[in-house]
Structure 1
Amino acid sequence: AKIVHTKIYRYLWDGNVLLHEWHYQRARRPKVITDELGMLMLDRPEPVENLTTWVYEEGSLVPTAKLCEGKSYSIVSDYLGRPAQAYDDKGELVWQVEFDIYGRIREDTFNNQPFIPFRQLGQYEDVETGLYYNRFRYYNPETGLYISQDPIGLAGNNPNFYAYVHDSNAWVDPFGFDPVNWTPHGFKHFPPKNKSWAEIVKSTKNGPAKYISEIDVENLERTIWKEGTPVTNGKNWKVMEFNDIIGASEGKPTNFVRVENSGNTIHGHPISKSEFKKLTKCK
């Protein structure tokens, strides 16, 4: 919560994901009293007014919609997960911005920057300070640096404890302390939008493996790197088997993925069942 002038702002999180926010007049703030047993309690329910609800891509921090005052707005984000446009329920463009390499807004088409407060992936702009809240610390878009040291220190693999990421054109740091970076690896394993699934599967027989289109690739690969099975060939790789089809490799649909770590940057792609067995020495 925060208090700004005559208003109180409240936020409701699901872990590290902001779900709801609302505000009300400070004069209506409930008072803390004690009951007959000496327990602390509020003298009346806290007001829930001017409620905004945020909707995200499944399993990610990429916002897809804003719901408020009986209206809905669709959010379009760029390849890094930064909101770039918002449309109302009639399909009219109502918000549009462009970012520089530090995540600072350099162009605001409608001069309505706070309407969508999300900036770099995982960041929420605090309009009073101009800083971006990154869950575990604050980021200054004017300098491209955090204002406090990395809480994981050298585990972040960066000698500058205040730095964002090595390459802000390809990497993100949703919580302000990610120990590994992620790269889309030139998007070579992303499915082309102009081809059918059958064509995509066929293309992997002699070409690179491809994910299915519904996958949040970064979130998937970070999960595999965190929870996957280390391979047995001595390389810095991890693999994981899924219950459903995750992509295609060697000309066939597959539910196996491999993620590798190179220079503290992870990237991966679907693999065949035979490759999975080889890497885990399964019989």
Structure 2
Amino acid sequence: NSSMPTATQDTTYTYDQNGRLLTETTGGLVTSYEYNNAGLVTKKTNKVGDVEPGSVYGGVSDFSTHTYYTNGNMMSKFSQAELCETSYTYDGAGRLTLEFFQSSGPDYQTIYQYDASGNRSRQTYIFDPYNETNDLFTTVTEYTYDANNRLTSVTTGTDTLSYTYDNNGNMLSESNGKTYSYNVLNQLVTFVNGEYTTTYTYLPNGLRASKTMGNDQNHLHSDFVWDGDDLVYEYVRNMYYYPPLDNCIVYNYGNGLISQSNTETNEYILFTKNTHGDVSDMLNASSTTLAVFAEKEFDAFGNGGSTGYSAMGYAGQYHDYETGFIYLRARYYSPAVGRFINEDPIRDGLNWYVYCGNNPVNYTDSTGLDEDLDKYVNDNYSGKVTVTIAASRPVENSRIAVNLDTMDVGHTFVRIDYGDGRVIYRGFYPANTLSTDEILTKTNVDGIVVDDATHDWNAAVTYEITVEQADDMVSFIDNYDSEYNMVTNNCTTFGAKVLESGGVEVPTSEHKWTLPANAKQMVVDYLPSEKLFKGVVANYLISGLYGYSPADAVQDFKNSPQHVLKYGGSTYVASNKHK
């Protein structure tokens, strides 16, 4: 397409012997990293050419430093460019309780308190405009919830904002007149704010396809194109002008979001990011001299950062300025209240609305779903290259391969983490739902490899590997073109083959499948009434079920010293990993 922007630059990376990212180079911008013994980033430097950090006004030579508590939570970060330091305090549950911003100008601190269910109950904002403790301005905000952890009101001083919900836990309205509506999949489809209406559509895989703001005659329409979970193209038509203005925004990725280019303005914008993945500076890379022309700054929960130059911001994610929400694939996140606007679709844990367990400084959630596996790997292998194989079982604490009440067979998937922000989840499925005949006759069918970041799990095993091993596994996945077979080439078989492709020992093996006691009778009942020797035929059909299975995988994983267990119904993750 001749209208697509072409002003892009290659990005190159270097790594140390532990697979940790050392440098990232795009054009004239070099970003370098230093680490402590735990693999946590202690210093991040952006540098252009030989310019020393901080020596050029408006340039991009600067650095930030970071300190940590012994449990890995960030204690403080210092920005040389802004000459400011932010420190953090947490409670025993790892929840952020204090964010303290200090600079040569005004200081502020935000204190967070929580109820027994993990909901934010009070926020105290203390602003010190003159760096004098006798001139403090304090604002207290109180939050109330119903029995289902739905936010019902936010009160600041004498002002109260109330919320209503539908029976599925989706936020329907705010007392300021804003309203929301959803489809049968609980996806936000309409937002109304006074005379302005925004509509959203979605692809079959759940990702957003488009949004339209305005009315039939005058509106701003965006179509979105995805590569996996990454937004790569945004086609924008502005109908407020005649003739309409068209723009194609291209988002480029490597170690996270790198840049964007626009056809309408012929701009190529290079991003710098902090260690959380937030877009911090925007550089005019179309110019012969790299220089910062816009900045974004976010608090711990993602508030702030407003600028019209790019929709990308907090954690490198897309911001909808019409709602103030951040689009996180499965759900929309509201940084104003630090929570999602509707329930977790997989209903993980006890509270289905909180964001990152109220520890947004150290974790991100790009899917709006369960972050436990990410948390476990980040806690135990931060900055290291790893592969994780995870599985869910169909029957609690059992090797029974199929739950005949729900027809669930469990699932196995893999997670490859380069330790630099690049994380790949993949699982193998039949391309179409298996028929009973295909199940009983163990028929080969078309298979499909999909992004599996949303699947629940019961047990997992993580291995530390090299970049080369990770590359071999990713190459194997990208070229995997096999038929699916429920017994001989299923999701667990796929996971085992991925590990083998990188030379990693598989922590499970093939077994004779354990079936429920009533499996034979169910097969007999399914066979046609005129079928002779139905019992013999049933025995034949359910015999020879030998191979990998998610149920066996979960039980086998427990024998690995690197295993981790996720306790169902809770976000608590218990590990017996040997450090």
TM-score when scaled to structure 2?
Answer: 0.31
**Distance in 2 between the 1:219 and 1:259 partners?**
22
Partner residue of 1:239? 463
Name the CA shift for 1:120/1:86 in 2 (closer, same or farther; >3 Å): same
- Please say if residues 222 and 235 of structure 2, whose CA atoms lie closer than 8 Å, have aligned partners that are also in contact: yes
SS of the residue aligned with 2:353?
A: coil
Residue pairs, 1:1-283, within 5 angstroms: 1-5=210-214, 6=218, 7-26=220-239, 49-57=246-254, 62-69=256-263, 70-89=266-285, 90-105=289-304, 108=305, 113-121=307-315, 123-153=317-347, 156=348, 158-166=349-357, 167-183=359-375, 184-185=378-379, 189=383, 215-220=418-423, 237-239=461-463, 244=468, 261=564, 263-264=572-573
- Give the Å deviation of 1:64: 0.5
Root mean square deviation, CA, Å: 4.0
Give the counterpart letter for 1:55 in structure 2.
Answer: N
SS in structure 2 opposite 1:173?
coil
What SS is found at the alignment partner of 2:212? strand
- How far the C-alpha of 1:49 sits from its partner, in A, is 2.3
- 1:48–1:15 Cα change, 3 Å: farther
Q: 1:187-234 CA distances to partner (integer Å, 9 max, x unpaired)?
A: 86569xxxxxxxxxxxxxxxxxxxxxx94445448679x79xxxxxxx
AA of the residue aligned to 2:232: L
Q: Find the residue that maps to 1:2 and give its secondary structure.
A: strand
Asked if structure 2 preserves the Cα contact closer than 8 Å seen for 1:52 and 1:67, the reply is yes
Task: Return closer, same or farther for 1:118/1:21 CA change in 2, 3 Å cut-off.
Answer: same
Three-state SS of the structure 1 residue aligned to 2:350 is: coil
- Residues 20-43 of structure 1, C-alpha deviation per residue, up to 9 Å, x if partnerless? 112224489xxxxxxxxxxxxxxx
Q: Is the 8 A contact 2:356 2:371 kept in 1?
A: no
After superposition, the C-alpha distances for 1:75-104 in whole angstroms (9 at most, x for unaligned) are 111112121111111311022111111111
TM-fit CA distance, 1:236: 5.1
- Checking the alignment, whether the CA contact within 8 Å between 2:259 and 2:270 is kept in structure 1 is yes
CA distance in 2, matches of 1:102, 1:243: 32
SS at match of 1:113: coil
Provide the residue aligned with 1:38 in structure 2.
none
CA contact (8 A) 2:384 2:464 kept: no
Asked whether the equivalents of residues 279 and 316 of structure 2 are also in contact (C-alpha less than 8 Å), the reply is: no
Q: CA deviation at 1:74?
A: 1.1
> What is the deviation of 1:15?
2.8
Q: 1:63 to 1:220 in 2, by over 3 A?
A: closer
Decide which moves more: 70-79 or 115-124. Answer: 115-124
Alpha-carbon deviation of 1:122? 6.0
- Code of the residue aligned with 1:151 in structure 2: it is P
Q: Which is higher, the Rg of structure 1 or of structure 2?
A: 2
User: Whole-Å Cα distance in 2 between the matches of residues 128 and 236 of structure 1?
Assistant: 40
Q: Is the 8 A contact 1:172 1:181 kept in 2?
A: no
Cα distance between partner residues in 2 of 1:223 and 1:244: 18
Between the two proteins, the alignment pairs up a number of residues equal to: 204
**Aligned-residue offset at 1:125:** 0.9
Q: Does the residue aligned with 1:81 lie in a helix, a strand or coil?
A: coil
Can you give the 5+ residue segments of structure 2 that lack an aligned partner in the other structure?
1-209, 386-416, 428-451, 454-458, 471-501, 506-560, 566-571
AA of the residue aligned to 1:23: V
Q: Is contact 1:243-1:255 (8 Å) kept?
A: no
Q: 1:178: Cα distance to partner?
A: 2.7
**Distance change (3 Å), C-alpha of 1:187 and 1:85:** farther
> What's the offset of the Cα at 1:4?
1.8
TM-fit CA distance, 1:132:
1.1
SS at match of 1:18: strand
Cα shift at 1:239: 2.8
CA distance in 2, matches of 1:265, 1:54: 38
Specify the code of the residue in structure 2 equivalent to 1:83: V
Structure-2 residue corresponding to 1:204: none
Give the corresponding residue for 1:231: none
Distance 1:259 1:168, change over 3 A: farther
CA contact (8 A) 1:74 1:87 kept: yes
Q: Decide whether the 8 Å contact of 2:260 with 2:270 is kept in 1.
A: yes
Inter-CA distance 76–49: structure 2 relative to 1 (3 Å threshold): same
- Taking the aligned partners of 1:117 and 1:57, their CA distance within structure 2 comes to 18
Q: Give the Cα–Cα distance (whole angstroms) in 2 for the partners of residues 222 and 15 of structure 1.
A: 10
Do the aligned partners of residues 151 and 50 (structure 1) sit closer, same or farther apart at CA in structure 2, a change above 3 Å counting? same
How far apart, in 2, do the equivalents of 1:265 and 1:91 lie?
A: 47
Q: Which structure 1 segments of 5+ residues have no match?
A: 29-46, 192-213, 228-234, 247-253, 272-283
Partners in 1 of 2:290 and 2:503 — Cα distance? 37
Q: 1:57 Cα shift? A: 1.7
